[in-house]
Amino acid sequence: MARFAPSPTGYLHIGGARTALFNWLFARGRKGRFLLRIEDTDRARSTPEATQAILDGLRWLGLDWDGEPVSQYARRERHAEVARQMLARGTAYKCFSTPEEIEAFRERARAEGRSTLFLSPWRDADPATHPDAPHVIRLKAPRSGETVIEDEVQGRVTFRNDQLDDMVCLRSDGTPTYMLAVVVDDHDMGVTHVIRGDDHLTNAARQAQVYHAMGWDIPVWAHIPLIFGEDGRKLSKRHGAVGLHEYAAMGYPPSAIRNYLCRLGWSHGDDEFFTDAQAMAWFDLKDIHRSPARLDFRKLESLSGRHIAAMEDARLLAEIGTYLAATGAAPLSQAQQSALSRALYCLKDRAKTFPDLLEKARFVLESRPVEPDEAARRALDPVSRGILGELTPQLQNASWTKEGLDAALQAFATARGTGFGRIAGPLRAALAGRMVTPGVTDMMLVLGREETIARIGDALG
């Protein structure tokens, strides 16, 4: 039983997406359950829009979860109940120190170069001396010895208990902190494997103390390194694309993102290009690396091209539709869709992304008269138009098959004593209005004899 537990304070981050992916692969590969929990205990920063964005992002990535997403905030009564139980068990205590007092303590500690860990004077106070005042509930953490984390990725990590303070479990307003809530929820939800970012590694030690305080079993932990930007710095807004939605808008297929993200910080020998089924079969926590990986768009692009080439036509068409919607572009008409699907065979293995594919598909998406771009205009100089003029009658009689057209074009080139390229260029310009397109005979095949000759006619003006 694995889970993904994002806090809804923004869009789904590419690093968060990989964490979700690892959990999903791990759970699905072992016939386990994959749960979703929204960590919305910070009311000031959590928004429903962000929750929606995260759900949308996971759906787009193709990561399905079991059951309804759990709201952590909705479980606040349960968290408070556990805090009271800890109080009753003597593993937690009420602390009446005010934020001002604590801040003053830290100020002094910093000035004197001492540890800023706050040691509450209320830890061992007699309840009879408790004032009737606002208070928090703190964990009564062990002061000596050490807390050991057995981590599937990081190995055995040891923390000295005197480096860990008595963290707040229940705030003075009665709401739980993340540290308490995450433990209670993981326990109640039956989460057996916690796979999350290594920014939580130190927290794991504190959380282990809560598990101990309640006498609960500790889950298997796997703290995975963060993803860095191309410059090796930690990912931030200035790196450009950090939100998953931006990758959707750039026209990468979700399968390629899954494949790419999976290979970031995890490997299975020399395998680079693989399916979800293979990833699920191969994925194991022990193969996750301990060092952070950088994003490399070149590699993503290469993988993207291979996934597009390998995709079934129907699926490709559907995903192009999703891509168009993500960018706010107009959807393809019924006619454009069927024309595009006829052309996919000569398009899918030469495109790296959806916009790349769409650009090369212009010849079949545009209707007459096609508007040539600058390069195409240059290719339609008078001499070239003359060639096209001579070619037209040959096309009237050519057999309209791949072989027939190749033969006809070849024969025409030979008869004129020119190279094939001298003919292909102008043809490309006339048929597509672009100079980067699929092969000319493929375009002619897709367009048909009538349309082909009509477009050449348009170009001859």
**Distance in angstroms (rounded) separating the CA atoms of residues 324 and 308:** 16
CA distances from 392 to 149, 406, 446 (A): 77, 15, 17
Query: Of 94, 237, 299, 352, which is the active-site residue?
Result: 237
Whole-number Å distance between alpha carbons of 227 and 233? 9
Contacts for 101 with CB less than 8 Å, ≥ 6 apart: none
Stretch that binds RNA, among 22-30, 109-117, 276-284, 449-457 (CB under 7 A): 109-117
> Which token pair is 395?
């096309």
Q: Which residues pair with 266 in a beta bridge?
A: 288
- Residue listed under structure tokens 């109640």: 188
Site residues (CB under 7 A) for RNA, limited to 299-328:
299, 301-302, 305
Of 163 and 333, CB closest to RNA: 163
CB of 166 to RNA, least distance (A): 9
Cβ pair 333, 284 in contact under 8 A: no
Looking at residue 454, its amino acid is A
> Is residue 437 involved in binding RNA (CB under 7 A)?
yes
189 touching RNA, by CB under 7 A: no
Footprint (CB under 7 A) of RNA, residues 205-234:
225-226, 228, 232-234
Check whether the bond before 176 is cis (ω within 30° of 0). no
Q: Distance (Å, rounded) from C-alpha 266 to C-alpha 286?
A: 9
- 199 is a contact residue toward RNA (CB under 7 A): yes
Binding of RNA by 172 (CB under 7 A): yes
Q: Which of residues 340-399 bind RNA (CB under 7 A)?
A: 349-352, 360
Judged by CB under 7 A, the residue of 19, 177, 353, 384 near RNA is 177
Cα–chain-centroid distance for residue 447? 38
Residue 178: CB minimum distance to RNA, A: 3
Binding RNA (rule: CB under 7 A), the pick from 2, 14, 80, 168 is 168
Interface pattern 64-103 for RNA (x via CB under 7 A): --------x------------------------xxx--x-
Residue entry with tokens 């020399």: 270
- Judged by CB, which is closer to RNA: 193, or 360? 360
- CB nearer to RNA: give 1 or 436: 436
The one segment of 60-68, 113-121, 122-130, 184-192 that binds RNA by CB under 7 A:
113-121
* Token pair 């999903």: residue: 24
31 is catalytic: no
